[in-house]
Amino acid sequence: MSPIGKPIVDARGINKSFNTAHVLKNVDLKVNAGEVVCIVGPSGSGKSTFLRLINGLEDIDGGQIEVGETTLPGAPKELLSVRRNVGMVFQNFNLFPHLTVLENLTLSPRRTGRMNRSGAENKARELLKRVGISEQSSKYPSQLSGGQQQRVAIARALAMEPQILLFDEPTSALDPENVNEVLNVMKELASSGITMIVVTHEMGFAREVADRIVFMADGQLLVDASPSQFFEHVEDERLRSFLSKIL
């Protein structure tokens, strides 16, 4: 892992269009190793697209993103290296329904040759314990609550030992009573020093856990501030209007 203070994600002048829709407009964002950055903003502002570019899941039209030692856009080899370095947690968990919890966690480490079976299983059990669901390892995803499924998804992302974790609205699909158990796992991860970029509407979480909060609207990154500045000294009219709707 890079030392704290060195940018581990450095996006410069990022542009992205889908057909005629210009969905990211000259977006710049630096994230230092160990930082937690929350991204907030209205629907359609480009938050998910930006995460997908960082992870190499979409092509960049203009600009560059340095992710660890790798620069995107890049050759397939670079994309592979970025995807191995970056874990992603989605709103809808995206677990493999036909695999048990344990198998969901061991699949990628084994397929990529990173670990053998017993190594991958040991690591998986350790991670399931960390997210508080060690007793569920032989169940299938459909036998778990949403909060438990999301904790499995987080453990699965960690199984590849990523340097960076990206979260795209990880609690938006959960019943209210399951939100905190997922946020608590994320808080523990944040304090462990892993770099996290979190798209969320959970303003309490952002205020408490983020080192910086970033506001996106209409494809632009309009505000990048510490939590206290973000909530208390808001000069941007669109941010004020956004906050007045969700707080």
Ligand X SMILES: Nc1ncnc2c1ncn2[C@@H]1O[C@H](COP(=O)(O)OP(=O)(O)OP(=O)(O)O)[C@@H](O)[C@H]1O
Residues that bind Mg ion (CB under 5 A): 48
Tell me which of 32, 48, 178, 195 binds ligand X, using CB under 6 A: 48
Question: Rounded CA gap, 78 and 85, in Å?
Answer: 11
Q: Which of Mg ion, ligand X, none does residue 49 bind to, with CB < 5 to 8 Å depending on kind?
A: ligand X
The three state secondary structure string of the chain is CCCCCCEEEEEEEEEEEECCEEEEEEEEEEEECCCEEEEECCCCCCHHHHHHHHCCCCCCCEEEEEECCEEECCCHHHHHHHHHHEEEECCCCCCCCCCCHHHHHHHHHHHCCCCCHHHHHHHHHHHHHHCCCHHHCCCCHHHCCHHHHHHHHHHHHHHCCCCEEEEECCCCCCCHHHHHHHHHHHHHHHHHCCEEEEECCCHHHHHHHCCEEEEEECCEEEEEECHHHHHHCCCCHHHHHHHHHHC
Q: Which stretch binds ligand X (CB under 6 A): 16-24, 28-36, 74-82, 145-153?
A: 16-24
Is the CB of 18 or the CB of 96 nearer to ligand X? 18
Q: Which of residues 49-88 bind ligand X (CB under 6 A)?
A: 49
Is the CB of 48 or the CB of 85 nearer to ligand X? 48
Q: Does 118 bind ligand X (CB under 6 A)?
A: no
Is residue 43 packed enough to be buried (19+ CB in 10 Å), middle (13-18) or exposed (0-12)?
exposed
Is the CB of 18 or the CB of 193 nearer to ligand X? 18
Tell me which of 34, 46, 56, 162 binds ligand X, using CB under 6 A: 46
Is the CB of 77 or the CB of 245 nearer to ligand X? 245
Q: Which of ligand X, Mg ion, none does residue 193 bind to, with CB < 5 to 8 Å depending on kind?
A: none
Tell me which of 18, 28, 59, 177 binds ligand X, using CB under 6 A: 18
Q: How far is the CB of 157 from ligand X (least distance, A)?
A: 19
Is the CB of 40 or the CB of 101 nearer to Mg ion? 40
Q: How far is the CB of 219 from ligand X (least distance, A)?
A: 7
Q: Does 204 bind ligand X (CB under 6 A)?
A: no
Is the CB of 48 or the CB of 104 nearer to Mg ion? 48
Instruction: Name the site residues for ligand X (rule: CB under 6 A).
Output: 18, 21, 23, 41, 43-49
